[in-house]
Structure 1
Amino acid sequence: MTLLSALLVEREREVTGCLVDLLIATVQRIGARAEQKVTNELINAFKRVSGKENLLFQIAEASLA
């Protein structure tokens, strides 16, 4: 194996490793954004519920009974 081919093999490993790291980071970022979006949608849905305080009190009373 020549010196050039050894260098190319090592460089290929480095590039592949960097691409894998980038892919993992991208997937994690997408997951975090999706989780934040779901959380925000749930909060907004909760804010839109009419009479939610009465419902919460009823739920609390039912859970204590």
Structure 2
Amino acid sequence: MTKEHISQLMEQGYHIIEFGVPRKVEGDLWEYLSGLDGELLEIFILEELLTWDDVQLEKIYLRLT
């Protein structure tokens, strides 16, 4: 996973990656996330991933594939 790939997903309207699948969130993102009631979900916020370095992104990619 690269920052370019993440940017492309965001341009397509995606907000998060949930269990390895890009997802669009209707309404407020933070409200959606807070409504998960602490469930143990593997969710990555695309906007935050843009701040990660390439090594961290590669680890995420390997874990999701």
TM-score range, shorter chain: under 0.3
TM-score (norm 2): 0.27
**Comparing both structures, which one devotes a greater share of its residues to helix?**
1
> Who wins on radius of gyration, i.e. which is larger?
1
Which protein, 1 or 2, shows the higher relative CO under an 8 Å CA cutoff with sep ≥ 6? 2
